[in-house]
Structure 1
């Protein structure tokens, strides 16, 4: 399990460690006793119980056998998988290509009713055109993925966009003005994308805000993030994909989103910025 700076991931690991320590105590065993029964060094038991070293699934199975708690093995392994899933490096997430990573997020999108997205550099995926998506995912594939399934991944992301038009979902997208001019492709592709932004921004369930460039220069930079209802935040970092579920952390991102939203312009003013960016391309 890769260590994450997020307290959500830390608390999930600590909760698992505490439960394993409790099983050891309930069985009347010391860490040294458990190590002898499991066939490993005594220091390993201590590191696991103090959340300094994450256990493997096999470690948990051995632990449950030693403590007479084999009926709890499945639940504890599931807890391990949950903790592992809070921080996933890109190599692990994308080892079979980009399509699976796109499809894996669909259930989250389907159960969410309120979406909030802040994007400092690119148009958010839910409101990208097919050509823009293909350009972005092609750049990702060239940078870090050996498997080339970009065409299939694009189709998966386009399928995910149906949530924009289904049910009673609400969407709030915030972008920096610089994202209107940042393109990995040609001018025609970006022009089409900007026109699509204006169309999406007119949907009754969508709020599209753009933070003017002069306001961006007067504050600290913020990484891009998605907030799903009040339950989860996802952040794409250089090294991996972070999932945050700790309520205090989710609240911090919600507060940051509100601050950015106050700096943004909407409606006619936002469309004026989009039009200016299109005019610059012409």
Structure 2
């Protein structure tokens, strides 16, 4: 959980605690008996350590005589859901819709800051590499197989590399050159694509070598869209960061990561070395 989610849950919990006390329940134990809940659940909700469900909110409001607050509280719970969105729910109809949702965000953004320690950033992927990625997504999340359509939507974002005044600051970990999606031929095609896009005038491609001293631990991948939104993905959820104080932390992290990166000729050498690695591997 990030600070923004924690703060939202803590504020909600404090409000619910006030409702409980105003209704005459002097302790969490008394309220637990009235609702047939475990006392520990009451404590976790009031202290912001557990996200209450919408049904929990309904029971709480009914037990404390605060039904007029129900709509507002459910809106808060849904806002927390938006901040921390379960990926299986996000992908329940397949991966194409999620890729479609990203296109307007890209259209509105002028400056991108991208950090991917182990995977090539989606907007500069080849179709073969993207297909291998989405095959894994479909299998892992057990969602409808629309990988081909998802690849097409992802590749639509590439048009922004060539038009307008958008600026792309992309950082990859050297491991991204070696994380093998699709086999040697797919990887060599993807690495050749990197050599091409690094020549684009408004795209800066940096790579952090595996042995480079780092000023900050690599952490999860993240994508920054101007100074208004950061998207962070884990295996289970996608986090949308919009609070200015938290966005400043990602800005600082990106700047520290850049200190370890190499650019230009050094990037080309790392990519060519990775291509040579795949040349040595047997193909199917």
Shift in CA distance, 219/52, structure 1 to aligned 2, threshold 3 Å: closer
The aligned residue for residue 263 of structure 1 is 260
Structure 2 CA distance for aligned equivalents of residues 19 and 165 of structure 1: 50
Alignment of 1:89-108 (within 5 A): 89-108=86-105
Q: TM-score, normalised by structure 1?
A: 0.79
How much has 1:123 moved relative to structure 2? 0.5
Structure 1 CA distance for aligned equivalents of residues 214 and 174 of structure 2: 11
Shift in CA distance, 259/41, structure 1 to aligned 2, threshold 3 Å: closer
1:111 paired to 2:108: yes
Q: TM-score, normalised by structure 2?
A: 0.79
1:15 paired to 2:11: yes
Deviates more, 1:123-132 or 1:220-229: 220-229
Alignment of 1:216-255 (within 5 A): 220-255=217-252
**Aligned equivalent of 1:193, options 174, 190, 193:** 190
Shift in CA distance, 108/61, structure 1 to aligned 2, threshold 3 Å: farther
1:151 paired to 2:148: yes
Shift in CA distance, 9/168, structure 1 to aligned 2, threshold 3 Å: same
1:206 paired to 2:238: no
Instruction: Indicate conservation of the 8 Å contact 1:9/1:244, yes or no.
Output: no
How much has 1:274 moved relative to structure 2? 2.1
The aligned residue for residue 79 of structure 2 is 82
Aligned to 1:263, what secondary structure does the other structure show?
coil
Shift in CA distance, 45/117, structure 1 to aligned 2, threshold 3 Å: same
How much has 1:130 moved relative to structure 2? 1.1
Structure 1 CA distance for aligned equivalents of residues 215 and 80 of structure 2: 37
Q: Which runs of 5+ in 1 are unaligned?
A: none
How much has 1:46 moved relative to structure 2? 6.5
Aligned to 2:211, what secondary structure does the other structure show?
helix
Aligned pair count? 275
How much has 1:22 moved relative to structure 2? 6.1
Aligned to 1:215, what secondary structure does the other structure show?
coil
Instruction: Indicate conservation of the 8 Å contact 1:113/1:169, yes or no.
Output: yes
Deviates more, 1:122-131 or 1:110-119: 110-119
Q: Which runs of 5+ in 2 are unaligned?
A: 280-284
Structure 1 CA distance for aligned equivalents of residues 236 and 103 of structure 2: 22
How much has 1:83 moved relative to structure 2? 0.6
Instruction: Indicate conservation of the 8 Å contact 2:117/2:172, yes or no.
Output: yes
Alignment of 1:173-192 (within 5 A): 173-192=170-189
